Every structure is written in C-alpha cells, then in structure tokens.
C-alpha cells in the first residue's frame, strides 16, 4: 500500500486540507456535550432561561461550523482520492501495454481486468475513507477520552478497561481480514475470466449447445466467490455487534456508577450525560475504526495485486545499445533456432528468406508454424540460436524500431470499436484517405466497405461484431498493408476468406509485395503453390524446404498434404 501512496503526492494540498477541515468538524463535535452539560446543570437546574437560549444558539453555531468542516473535508477527500485512482489506473494500464506476450499469458486477461477495475476502486475508496474516517477516529477517540476526564475523572476511568477488548478485537480484524480478502479477489479474478471467455466465445457455446456446461462452470466460480465473500463478511458481522456490546456495557456502567454519585451529591446530571455522550462518541468511533480496518485489509490485498503488475518486468527487454534506427532490406535468417513455452515447440530450425521472397509455412496443427513467425517481430525470444534481419540479431534492435518494419495479420482478426477507416489506420497513424483506400483495395475489402451505410466511416461494433469472419480478416490484412512494411506476416489470415477472393488477394499481394519479404502461414495448400519457398514443419522441426515443384517430388509429407486437399498430381515432374 505504501508504494501506491506516491500517487497521492501530486494532490497533497487536497490531502492536507481534508484532515484540517476534519479537525474543525471534530472540535465542534467535542464541544457539544460540554454545552449540553452547561444547559442542564446551569440553565435548567437553576431556571436560567437566557443561559439555555444563549448556549443553545452557540450549539447551533458549532454544529454549522462542524457541517462546514465535514462537507469541506468530503470535497477535498473526494478530489484527492478520485484523482489518485485515475492516475493509478493510467499507470497500471501503461504498464500492461509494455509487458511482453509471456507476461500477459501468465497474468491472464481476466485478472488484469479485475486489477484495473475492482482492485483500483478498492484502493481509491480506502484513500477517500481514510482522509475522513482515519483522521476522525483518533481525534474523536482521544478527544472524547480527554474531554471525559476533564468533565469527570471518576466516570472516565470506567471506560479505560473497555479499551483492552477493543484493541484486541482490532488486532484480530487486521490479522484475519487481509488473507480472507486476498481469496475474495482471486475468486473475483476467476469469475471475470469465465465471464470474458463466455462472452467472447458465445457463438461457439451456442453452436455446440454447451450453455448448461458453461452455466455450471460459471456457477462453480460464482459459488467460490460467494463462499470466500461470506467468510470475509462474517468477520465484519461479528466485529460490529461485539463493539456495540462493549459500548452498551460501558454506557450502562457509567449510568449505574454516575447515578449512585448523583444521589450522593458528588456528581451532577449534566456531567453524567456529557460523559455518556463522550463515551458513546469514543466507542462509536472505534466501531467505525473496525469497519475501516476491514476496508483497509481488502484494499491491502488489492494493493498487493496492483503492485505485482506495476513491478512486473517485461520478459523482453531492449539491450543497452539496441539499434534505434533500423531500415533493413528484408533478409530474414533463422540460425539453429530452438523455442518453447516450457517444452520445446521449435527445434533447431534453420532457413533463409531473401528480400522480396514469399515464404510459405505448412504443417499440422501444433507443428510450430505460428510460434515461428512470432519470433520475427520478437513477440517472444528464442531459447536457442538466433533470428536475424539483414544479419542483425533481432535482440540487438529496439522493439519499436524492429516492429516499425514488420506488419502482422493474425488468423483471429481483432478489430476495435470505431470506424472502418480508423481500424485500417491503426496500421499507420499517418496514412491518409488515399493510402487507406489503396490498402483496402489490395486486401479485397473495398467492395464490401462501399456497400456499408457510411462507407469507410461506418461504425464497427466491439471486435467487429457486425462483420463476417472473412470481412474482418480482410480489414486486418488492409491494416497490415497500409504500413507498407519491409516484412509482412500473414498468419493463416485468409482462413475465413472464400477461394475466389483469396485468389484475387494473392494476385494483389504479389503485385505490391514484390520488393518486400512475406511469410504466409496457411492451411490451404492452394494458397502457397506460387510461393518462392515453402517450409514444411513437423513436430517443431523443419523437415522440408523448397518450391512446390521440388517438394512435390522430394517431400512425402508435402505430397500427402497436397493430395489430401487437391488430389493426386497428374505429373509430379511438371507441377507448377
């Protein structure tokens, strides 16, 4: 929690003014019981009506001043807390944007959403409450005890033994609450993850009639959250009645002991009422303190989760002398590359893609095709060997400079809410309308875009929900092309495009990418027949390399893939 308090520093003036105004409110509250004592003992008992009116008017003034202090404290506390939460949320978001794919894989999307929303809200709320309640608790507690002693030391001494069980209860709350709320937040992570998976995969769930299974999965996660929340809230439920019991015991003791002294003439009725009021204020404040400690415990659990993100070190780091200005021709070489997410996915892969070549990558599912192309823009680092561009190890190039020369279009076309044009322009923020239209034409997206109600200004729903799979893929390809990259990577990015459209798309790519290096991961072999080089992967190993004509003769695996999709070649010696 301490690490996060630095985000409060820019708003130190508001954070300082709020407690000062709270001191004003507390001071006025502490004066009220003495005023009541004066009214009872000097005004009512002696029949002095003017003193009653004068003191009553003074109590109203004090109450108004206290209200001013309370309202002012709230205004400045809200200003400090909300601004702190805003800055913290921005900082966590910026941190997440710097993390590598490996970091994001480990943290998980659902957890990150919870930390950006609920966890930061918990911290923000505790700052707000602390600037009010945390300041008020010691001031009222100590002030009430002191004023009680000034009013009647005999009665005030009765309250002292109550502090022992109260302090024990507070200690118990502090030690028990944080682990419980850590479990609550972890359970909330799981609920958010399941919700996100269900909403993003709703078509699959309905297509396979898995609604009941997913309801059960959500029910399990929701039940776990419920159980952990109940355990945490039970602690709150026990704390409050115990505190109220102590307060009532103290009040009863003061009334009993004070009543005896009133009959003996050693105390006045006003003194008893004042002490009871101070005792009630003190113990009520301790009840508030117990509630605050519960909130702090939850916020502490949330703070630790936020700090975990802020302290995360990206798996991929630029080297100290990494190239910041890099303009390659596009020669890509894999030199004995090994890579894995634990178990090896690629094993001793070596090949060269010359500038301007189109390199196709084929293989069964899980053979390492996508992992291979993800190493070129350095989404992950190799675990052995190296990947070079124009002879320079990609690890010796800054990530920004490297990725500025590469465009990637993935099988899952991720689009964003906004216009069609803005989605294409994400590939190149400086692209004008002409460049956007040219990229769309090359990606075979122009025709369906022009049929939309507002053309390029048509608003797309979240993740492009109002487009078909093939349309989304073509927009993603247009986004990659508008950058005019030196290296283009199409990772099975035409899987949802029909054969005729794909054929036109390949012709356009051949035209505009003849001076650029292209990598095409494909499932359909018709996509790669004209490639300058075809790589065949099997179980993470490069088992064949060459043109279609060479592989149809020399590679049994390639020939098997060809025959399974296009039938047996009539003459393997003349295949083109």
What's 447's domain CATH number?
3.40.50.300
Nearest Cα residue to 307 out of 128, 115, 125: 115
How far is it, in rounded angstroms, from Cα 340 to Cα 374? 12
How far is it, in rounded angstroms, from Cα 436 to Cα 398? 27
Q: Are residues 333 and 447 in the same domain?
A: no
Asked whether the beta carbons of 147 and 34 are under 8 A apart, the reply is yes
pLDDT at residue 570, rounded to an integer: 58
pLDDT at residue 129, rounded to an integer: 85
Q: Are residues 472 and 494 in the same domain?
A: no
Q: Are residues 558 and 574 in the same domain?
A: yes
Q: Are residues 456 and 508 in the same domain?
A: no
- Does residue 123 fall inside a structural domain? yes
pLDDT at residue 500, rounded to an integer: 80
**Residue reference for tokens 């890509």:** 332
- Does residue 315 fall inside a structural domain? no
pLDDT at residue 573, rounded to an integer: 44
pLDDT at residue 571, rounded to an integer: 52
Task: Count the domains in the chain.
Answer: 3
Task: Give every residue of the chain whose pLDDT is below 50, as ranges.
Answer: 572-576
- Does residue 211 fall inside a structural domain? yes
316-325 long-range contacts, Cβ below 8 Å, gap at least 24?
A: 316/100, 316/102, 316/378, 316/380, 316/381, 316/399, 318/398, 318/399, 319/395, 319/396, 321/396, 322/396, 322/397, 322/398, 322/401, 323/392, 323/396, 323/397, 323/398, 323/401, 324/398, 324/400, 324/401, 325/401
Q: Are residues 525 and 381 in the same domain?
A: yes
Domain boundary among 263, 280, 310: 310
- Does residue 448 fall inside a structural domain? yes
Q: For 2, which DSSP code?
A: G
pLDDT at residue 575, rounded to an integer: 42
pLDDT at residue 346, rounded to an integer: 93
Q: Are residues 426 and 335 in the same domain?
A: no
Q: Are residues 465 and 398 in the same domain?
A: no
pLDDT at residue 132, rounded to an integer: 84
Q: Are residues 480 and 490 in the same domain?
A: no
Buried b (16+ CB within 10 A) or exposed e, 18-53: bbebbebbbebbbbbbbbbbbbbbebeeeeeeeebe
Q: Are residues 142 and 191 in the same domain?
A: yes
How far is it, in rounded angstroms, from Cα 141 to Cα 26? 10
In order, the DSSP letters of 526-552 are GGTTT-SEEEEEETTEEEEEE-HHHHH
Three-state SS letters, 185-204: HHHHHHHHHHHHHHHHCHHH
Q: Are residues 400 and 538 in the same domain?
A: yes
Domain encompassing residue 240: 2-310
How far is it, in rounded angstroms, from Cα 551 to Cα 437? 38
Task: Provide the β-strand partners of residue 337.
Answer: 349
Q: Are residues 192 and 267 in the same domain?
A: yes
Q: Tens digit of pLDDT for each residue in 67-107?
A: 999 999 999 999 999 999 999 999 999 998 888 888 887 88
Three-state SS letters, 435-480: HHHHHHHHCCCHHHHHCCCCHHHCEECHHHCCCCHHHHHHHHHHHH
Token output for 402:
């490297």
Q: Are residues 232 and 261 in the same domain?
A: yes
Query: pTM (2 decimals)?
Result: 0.72
pLDDT at residue 207, rounded to an integer: 65
Asked whether the beta carbons of 299 and 182 are under 8 A apart, the reply is no
pLDDT at residue 543, rounded to an integer: 92
Q: Tens digit of pLDDT for each residue in 166-195?
A: 777 777 776 777 788 778 878 888 888 888
């Amino acid at each position: 929690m301490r690490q996060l308090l630095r985000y409060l520093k820019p708003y130190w003036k508001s954070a300082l003014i709020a407690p000062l105004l709270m001191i004003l409110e507390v001071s006025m509250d502490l004066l009220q019981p003495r005023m009541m004592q004066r009214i009872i003992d000097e005004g009512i008992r002696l029949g002095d009506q003017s003193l009653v009116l004068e003191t009553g008017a003074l109590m109203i003034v004090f109450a108004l001043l206290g209200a001013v202090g309370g309202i002012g404290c709230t205004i400045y506390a809200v200003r400090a807390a909300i601004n702190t939460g805003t800055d913290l949320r921005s900082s966590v978001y910026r941190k997440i944007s710097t993390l590598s794919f490996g970091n994001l894989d480990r943290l998980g999307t659902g957890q990150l959403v919870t930390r950006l929303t609920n966890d930061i809200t918990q911290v923000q709320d505790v700052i707000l409450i602390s600037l009010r309640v945390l300041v008020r608790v010691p001031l009222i507690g100590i002030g009430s005890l002191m004023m009680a002693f000034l009013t009647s030391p005999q009665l005030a001494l009765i309250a002292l033994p109550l502090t022992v069980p109260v302090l024990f209860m507070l200690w118990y709350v502090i030690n028990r609450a944080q682990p419980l709320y850590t479990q609550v937040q972890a359970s909330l992570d799981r609920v958010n993850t399941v919700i996100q998976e269900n909403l993003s995969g709703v078509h699959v769930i309905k297509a396979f009639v898995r609604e009941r299974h997913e309801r059960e999965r959500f029910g399990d996660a929701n039940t776990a959250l419920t159980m952990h929340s109940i355990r945490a809230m039970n602690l709150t439920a026990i704390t409050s009645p115990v505190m109220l019991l102590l307060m009532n015991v103290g009040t009863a003791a003061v009334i009993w002991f004070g009543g005896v002294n009133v009959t003996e003439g050693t105390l006045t009725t006003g003194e008893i009422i004042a002490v009871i009021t101070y005792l009630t204020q003190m113990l009520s404040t301790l009840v508030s303190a117990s509630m605050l400690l519960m909130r702090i415990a939850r916020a502490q659990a949330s703070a630790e989760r936020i700090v975990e993100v802020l302290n995360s070190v990206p798996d991929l780091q630029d080297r100290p002398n990494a190239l910041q200005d890099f303009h390659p021709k596009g020669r890509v070489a894999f030199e004995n590359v090994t890579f894995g997410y634990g178990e090896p996915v690629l094993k001793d892969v070596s090949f060269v893609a010359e500038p301007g070549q189109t390199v196709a990558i084929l293989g069964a599912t899980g053979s390492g095709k996508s992992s291979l192309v993800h190493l070129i823009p350095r989404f992950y680092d190799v675990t052995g060997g190296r990947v070079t561009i124009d002879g320079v190890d990609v690890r010796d190039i800054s990530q920004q400079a490297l990725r500025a020369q590469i465009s990637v279009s993935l099988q899952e076309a991720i689009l964003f809410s906004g216009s069609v044009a803005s989605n294409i322009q994400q590939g190149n923020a400086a692209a004008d309308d002409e460049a956007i239209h040219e990229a769309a034409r090359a990606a075979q997206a122009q025709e369906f875009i022009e049929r939309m109600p507002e053309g390029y200004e048509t608003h797309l729903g979240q993740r492009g929900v109002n487009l078909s799979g093939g349309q989304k893929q073509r927009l993603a390809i247009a986004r990659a092309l508008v950058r005019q990259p030196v290296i283009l990577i199409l990772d099975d990015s035409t899987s949802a495009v029909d054969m005729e459209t794909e054929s036109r798309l390949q012709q356009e790519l051949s035209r505009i990418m003849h001076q650029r290096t292209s990598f095409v991961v494909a499932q359909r072999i018709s996509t790669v027949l004209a490639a300058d080089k075809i790589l065949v992967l099997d179980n993470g190993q490069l088992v064949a390399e060459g043109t279609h004509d060479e592989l149809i003769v020399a590679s049994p695996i390639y020939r098997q893939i060809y025959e399974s999709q296009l039938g047996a070649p009539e003459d393997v010696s003349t295949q083109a």
